[in-house]
Amino acid sequence: MNKQQIINKTAEYVKTKLAGEGTGHDWWHTERVWKMAVNIGKREKADLFIVQLAALLHDIADWKFNDGNDEAGPELASIWLKKLKVEEAIVKHICQIIKDVSFKGPGVKSKIKTKEGMAVQDADRLDALGAMGISRTFAYGGSKGREIYNPKIKPQTHRTFKQYKNNHGTSINHFYEKLLLLKNLMNTATAKKIAARRHKFIEKFLAEFFKEWEGKN
């Protein structure tokens, strides 16, 4: 089986697993991350075989839906890739990217070190910004029964992964606890440029939200 066949089979596998998922971590999120990761990976001269497989599998078993277990995704990805007879060193690299790709709180430093990992992480974070990021925030919040906003509940600064994954704040708080922080956490020049524009869109949305919240607009 050649590399393109492996990528195609993986895309079909992920599409089947994530089809119809309603929290914003569905197949369409994965497809957007896949496309963006390839775009960034090309500019960074990364190994696009690794980039594509890591992007496709990055949410195959997200810790948010597996009791906070950030090993679930890498383990499932490893089983799949070994089934396709992908080289062991490549499987290890991809699984490490999947384990480290997620935002785990502003006080938790990213462990991503490779060009391939940076391309996938930036692509995933870009999908949490702009119009798409806003849409996904409310989809996820609704799925978890979270209030849209409650002025009595203040945003938190999470210093550990445990604090972040145990947070139950409002959807609007999530903008301050994660989304607005992402612009300064991008790895690549390509992503930084895109993030700046999407960040401004979120700021405009929040300004409008709070005007309407106060009955001023």
- What does DSSP assign to residue 127? T
φ/ψ (deg, to 5) at 98? -60, -40
Q: Which residues form the domain of 70?
A: 3-213
pLDDT tens track of the chain, all 217 residues? 899 999 999 999 999 999 888 788 899 999 999 999 999 999 999 999 999 999 999 999 775 655 556 788 899 899 999 999 999 999 999 999 999 998 877 777 888 999 999 999 999 999 999 999 999 999 999 988 999 999 999 988 777 777 776 677 899 999 999 999 999 999 999 999 999 999 999 999 999 999 999 987 7
- Give the pair of three-digit tokens for residue 37: 């990761």
- Give the pair of three-digit tokens for residue 159: 């210093």
> Which CATH number characterizes residue 61's domain?
1.10.3210.50
Residue 200 parent element (H or E): helix 189-213
- Give the pair of three-digit tokens for residue 149: 């906003």
- The tally of domains found in the chain comes to 1
φ/ψ (deg, to 5) at 67? 55, 35
